[in-house]
């Protein structure tokens, strides 16, 4: 039986992300506990378009945490909020 | 609207506005995001949980490094390593893997004939190098006390010199492949990571007295 990380890794590997981006995103999730990845595996499995969206989200956050950019962090939260508001049940 | 559109600025949420004027504090930023997401339910809440996890994982290395640094001796100093002199006798298992990856890469280079071959080559060789740098599995490793999922590795000065050298040589190989096969943006992230590794491995953590250093001394995180 696959672990959640293996599920996430396989789904990312099958995505349209570039190989470096795949490696980077897989490496990000390597840092998580497997139980924390259950929601990630469920999301990516139910809608693979979220792999690219989460990758964009990750890149933006990575840049912000490196730069300590509070203004862009605010913009990210606004964008996330709108994105979540548009999610249909 | 896609998440890519970072220019949208029309939220009136007070919880968000409070962030802008303050100095950026990662832990505070994570809490704000978590608070903001509390009002969502169902599928949106599940997605919010993933976004929050991504934030925590993106922030964690910096926070870990900061917290870890507080455990070190106040005598810690950082200086640039002289890259040209590596004493092979002092290279440990914490550094030997880097040379093995470089040797493997060099042996496979002649088999690269197309752009697809080059992408595969970069993924397997530079990818292996980056993964082992950022997520150590070989050599003198131990789990971080503050973050159990994070692995630290103890390096000799010559291990770090070797890793920096291998990073530089891999960058040279990448540039060569880029000029031959027009890799474009495909390898930008790899170049950035190799630069990052080269820079970090070129910084040597010295203690006023290595002999007197405590058990955790010498464990270094080579990571963003």
Which chain B residue shows the shortest CA-CA distance from A38? B50
Chains A and B form CB pairs within 8 A to the count of: 156
How many CB atoms are closer than 10 A to CB B145?
12
Residue of B nearest to A85 (CA): B44
- CB contact under 8 Å between B50 and A89, yes or no, is no
Beta strands B77-80; B140-143: pairing state: unpaired
pLDDT band for B5, please (50, 70, 90 cuts).
very low
B29 neighbourhood in chain A, CB within 8 Å? 70, 73
- Its ipTM equals 0.95
For residue B202, pLDDT over 90 is answered with no
Cα distance between residue B213 and residue B206, in whole Å:
10
Q: Say whether residue A63 is in contact with chain B using an 8 A CB cutoff.
A: no
B16, B40, B127 member nearest A78 (Cβ): B16
Residue of chain A with shortest Cα separation from B12: A78
Q: Shortest CA distance to B45 belongs to which of A81, A75, A36? A: A81
Query: Is A79 an interface residue toward B (CB < 8 Å)?
Result: yes
By C-alpha distance, the chain B residue nearest A69 is B24
Contact state of A79 with B6 under an 8 Å Cβ cutoff: yes
pLDDT, tens digit, 9 for 90 and up, residues A29-39:
877 778 888 99
Q: What local confidence, expressed as pLDDT, does residue A40 receive? A: 95
CB contact (8 A) between residue A62 and residue B23: no
Query: DSSP character for B185?
Result: G
Q: Please indicate, yes or no, whether the overall pTM of this predicted structure exceeds 0.90.
A: no
- Are the Cβ atoms of A78 and B119 closer than 8 angstroms? no
Angle, CA B100 vertex, CA B96 and CA B106 arms, to 5°: 145
State the greatest distance between any 2 C-alpha atoms of chain A, in Å, as a whole number.
Answer: 43
Task: Give how far A86 is from chain B: nearest CA, Å.
Answer: 9
Question: What would the pLDDT profile of B97-150 be if each residue is shown by its tens digit?
Answer: 999 999 999 999 888 899 989 999 998 999 999 988 888 889 988 776 656 666
CB burial string A41-65: b at 16+ within 10 A, e below: bbbbeeeeebbbbbbbbbbbbbebb
Inter-chain residue contact A39 with B53, CB threshold 8 Å: yes
């Amino acid at each position: 039986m696959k672990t959640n990380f293996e599920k996430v890794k396989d789904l990312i590997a099958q995505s349209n992300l570039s190989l470096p981006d795949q490696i980077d995103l897989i490496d990000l999730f390597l840092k998580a506990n497997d139980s924390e990845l259950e929601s990630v595996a469920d999301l990516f499995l139910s809608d693979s378009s979220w792999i690219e969206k989460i990758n964009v989200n990750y890149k933006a956050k990575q840049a912000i945490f490196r730069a300590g950019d509070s203004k862009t962090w605010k913009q990210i939260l606004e964008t996330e909020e709108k994105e979540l508001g548009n999610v249909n049940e | 609207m896609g998440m890519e559109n970072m220019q949208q600025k029309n939220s009136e949420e007070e919880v968000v506005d409070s962030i802008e004027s303050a100095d950026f504090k990662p832990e505070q930023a994570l809490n704000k995001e978590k608070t903001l997401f509390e009002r969502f339910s169902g599928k949106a809440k599940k997605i919010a949980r993933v976004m929050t996890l991504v934030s925590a994982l993106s922030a964690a290395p910096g926070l870990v490094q900061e917290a870890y640094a507080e455990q070190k001796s106040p005598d810690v100093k950082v200086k640039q390593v002289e890259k040209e002199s590596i004493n092979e006798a002092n290279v440990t298992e914490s550094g030997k893997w880097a040379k093995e990856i470089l040797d493997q890469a060099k042996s496979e280079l002649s088999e690269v004939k197309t752009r697809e071959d080059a992408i595969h080559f970069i993924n397997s060789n530079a990818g292996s190098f980056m993964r082992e740098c950022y997520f150590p599995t070989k050599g003198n490793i131990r789990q971080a006390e503050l973050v159990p999922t994070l692995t630290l590795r103890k390096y000799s000065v010559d291990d770090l010199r070797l890793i920096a050298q291998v990073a530089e040589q891999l960058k040279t190989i990448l540039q060569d492949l880029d000029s031959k096969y027009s890799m474009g943006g495909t390898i930008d992230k790899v170049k950035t990571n190799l630069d990052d590794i080269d820079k970090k491995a070129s910084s040597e953590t010295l203690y006023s007295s290595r002999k007197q250093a405590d058990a955790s001394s010498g464990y270094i995180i080579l990571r963003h």
